[in-house]
Chain A
Amino acid sequence: DAGITQSPRHKVTETGTPVTLRCHQTENHRYMYWYRQDPGHGLRLIHYSYGVKDTDKGEVSDGYSVSRSKTEDFLLTLESATSSQTSVYFCAISEYGVREKLFFGSGTQLSVL
């Protein structure tokens, strides 16, 4: 299994509070992605990174920011959490973007009350 660790695994927070999710990889892959998975919407890309300090928006990036200061870490921040951001968040990695297989972490279940 690819070495991807997401933390925390579960989090409950209140509306309006900031939240940071962490993705850590030991594979030295260039590309890292944040997805959210919701019933009825499937998997949707939030942000992705193609190198240290190189990031770009996905299809549902509003309300989210990311940072990648090291190859192995990709952080997703909800500046002011809303109930609509209750979801399961997955991190994924790949060496050559979508030209090869993506490897996913185990996910973070986030509940915003």
Chain B
Amino acid sequence: KQEVTQIPAALSVPEGENLVLNCSFTDSAIYNLQWFRQDPGKGLTSLLLIQSSQREQTSGRLNASLDKSSGRSTLYIAASQPGDSATYLCAVPRSNDYKLSFGAGTTVTVRA
């Protein structure tokens, strides 16, 4: 069974600081890993998808790394802004049936 853990559960930083969000998973035989953003009362928005053959993926100020062997992924957000305040979730497909297992998320607050 794939279990996905995100630590910390919440994070508060001043504007301009770089954010580091962690995601760990128990079954390293993953197909890929996705990072999502969720704003309060809204649905999830996919930010980055890293294939199992990739080490990292970048989009603007966002960079996600993947270390399959250690079961970890990290999402870096450079020069954080108040608009980055949201909950960030990671998700991986389960190896037996390819359904997604989600972490509980890290809620980020960027203080102006």
Chain A residues at the B interface, C-beta cutoff of 8 Å: 42-43, 45, 48, 58-59, 90, 92, 97-107
Contact = CB atoms under 8 A, between A and B. Distances in A.
Interface of B: 31-32, 34, 36, 41-46, 49, 89, 91, 93, 98-100, 102-105
A107 B43 contact: yes
A58 B94 CA distance: 12
Contact of B103 (A42, A90, A101, A103): A42
B43 A98 contact: no
Majority SS at the chain A contact face: mixed
Majority SS at the chain B contact face: strand
Contacts of B103: 42
Nearest to B100: A98
Instruction: Give the most central of A43, A45, A90, A97: most B CB within 10 Å.
Output: A43
B99 A98 contact: yes
Given A43-B91, A102-B91, A104-B36, 19 more contacts: A43-B44, A45-B100, A58-B99, A90-B43, A98-B31, A98-B93, A98-B98, A98-B99, A99-B31, A99-B32, A101-B46, A101-B49, A102-B34, A102-B100, A103-B46, A104-B45, A105-B43, A106-B43, A107-B41
